[in-house]
Each structure stands twice: as structure tokens, then as C-alpha cells.
Amino acid sequence: MSEVAKLTSEIVQGSGIGPLLFLIFIDDLIEHLIKNFGVRLKLFADDVKKYAEIVDTCSIDQQQCALD
């Protein structure tokens, strides 16, 4: 077993709880983007791809807000 160490920031790389915390964090992002901006998302590991149909300048502004 490893010795106990004081962590100074965030989650250490390779931690057991890191992937779970990432999923909890990213879940809010996904829900927000789908509900407020009507985008489609594809997720794989730590990547997110956003898809949306652009039909006019209003949809361009909406998608820029989603990215911001």
C-alpha cells in the first residue's frame, strides 16, 4: 500500500475517483447544452463533440453562446 500523502490540489492522475468526478462534472454541461441550446452531443472518454444545424444568423449566435 502507498503511504498517505497530503494533496495540495485537485484529484491526482490515475485516482480511482477521478473518472467518477469527471462524469459528475460533465453531466451538468451536457444537460445545460441540450436543454438551453438544442445541440446534439457525442461523448467519448474525455472528448465532447457538439453538433447543430445552422439555418440563419440567429442560430449562429445561439451556437456561439453554447460554445462560450
What average pLDDT is seen over the chain? 80
Report the pLDDT value the prediction gives residue 12, as an integer from 0 to 100.
62
Report the pLDDT value the prediction gives residue 67, as an integer from 0 to 100.
82
CB 59 within 8 A of CB 53: yes
Give the C-alpha separation, 1 to 36, whole Å: 46
CB 41 within 8 A of CB 30: yes
**Confidence band, pLDDT 50/70/90 cuts, at residue 19:** confident
Locate all alpha helices (DSSP H) within 1-68, ordered by sequence.
18-37, 57-67
CA-nearest of 4, 65, 13, 17 to 39 is: 65
Three cell numbers written together for 11: 484529484
